[in-house]
Structures are given as structure tokens and as C-alpha cells.
């Protein structure tokens, strides 16, 4: 079975540009979460979507937005890119909306964004 897939794997943008990152969850999973991992740090929560509704939002500016489609895939959009947005963006899927005994997160390999 395919795991969580993310695209693109690597991309380079310049300051001020816009970027769209894509994520396909594990088949049957209805929850998708996005995390930002800056080099040398732990991942930071950006968004969670479950059944196409936003269930949680981290402390990120409005330049960051996301959505989930009817097939449960998701996009993360970042506008007006800054140098500090350079990071590994991780997508995770789960079968349940909440963390718990069965609510395991399965992570993709990430999209590495470099902003010049």
C-alpha cells in the first residue's frame, strides 16, 4: 500500500513568490496535517484538516493557507515567500481526527523548500 506521498520533493523559489505543496494521504485516511521543520529544529504544526474542514491551526501568519479536497488530498499554499520560510514541509495523515490510542500520524518524506 502506498504511504503518504508529497510533491514536489524539492523546490527553489525567490522572495515574494508563491508556492503550492501537495499531499496525498494513505488510502482511507480522512485527516491531513501539515508541519514545518526548519533545519535543526523539531516540526511545528501548521494546519489539520479532517473531512475537508479545518480542525486546527498553528501559530503561522495568514500567508499560509491550506485546503482539503473531496478525495482527502490536500494543498498547502504560502504567499509572499520570505527567506525564513525555507524548511522541510511535512504532511501527515491519520484515520481519526484526534490523537489517541488509534490516532497514529503517518508522515510523508516532505517537500524541501528553499527561498532565495
Partner 1 sequence: AQSVTQLGSHVSVSEGALVLLRCNYSSSVPPYLFWYVQYPNQGLQLLLKYTSAATLVKGINGFEAEFKKSETSFHLTKPSAHMSDAAEYFCAVSSIQGAQKLVFGQGTRLTINP
The binding site for partner 1 (CB under 8 A) comprises 4, 31, 33, 35, 40-45, 48, 50, 55-56, 58, 90, 92, 94, 96-101, 103-110
Instruction: Between 10 and 18, name the residue whose CB sits nearer to partner 1.
Output: 10
The cell 503517518 sits on which residue? 106
Other C-beta atoms closer than 10 Å to the C-beta of 83 total: 10
Least CB distance from residue 111 to partner 1, whole Å?
10
Cell of 68: 482539503
Least CB distance from residue 91 to partner 1, whole Å?
8
Distance between CA 74 and CA 52 in Å, rounded? 9
Least CB distance from residue 15 to partner 1, whole Å?
25
Least CB distance from residue 77 to partner 1, whole Å?
20
Instruction: Between 17 and 27, name the residue whose CB sits nearer to partner 1.
Output: 27
Of 99, 111, 116, 95, the residue nearest 27 (C-alpha): 95
Instruction: Between 79 and 96, name the residue whose CB sits nearer to partner 1.
Output: 96
List, in order, residues 6 or more apart from 69 with CB less than 8 Å away: 52, 75
DSSP 59: S
Amino acid at each position: 500500500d502506498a504511504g503518504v506521498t508529497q510533491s514536489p520533493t524539492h523546490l527553489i523559489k525567490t522572495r515574494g513568490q508563491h508556492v503550492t505543496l501537495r499531499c496525498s494521504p494513505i488510502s482511507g485516511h480522512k485527516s491531513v496535517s501539515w508541519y514545518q521543520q526548519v533545519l535543526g529544529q523539531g516540526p511545528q504544526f501548521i494546519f489539520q484538516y479532517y473531512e475537508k474542514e479545518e480542525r486546527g491551526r498553528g501559530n503561522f501568519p495568514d500567508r499560509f493557507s491550506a485546503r482539503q479536497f473531496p478525495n482527502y488530498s490536500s494543498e498547502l499554499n504560502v504567499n509572499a515567500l520570505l527567506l525564513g520560510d525555507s524548511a522541510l514541509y511535512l504532511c501527515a495523515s491519520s484515520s481519526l481526527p484526534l490523537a489517541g490510542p488509534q490516532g497514529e500520524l503517518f508522515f510523508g518524506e516532505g517537500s524541501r523548500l528553499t527561498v532565495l
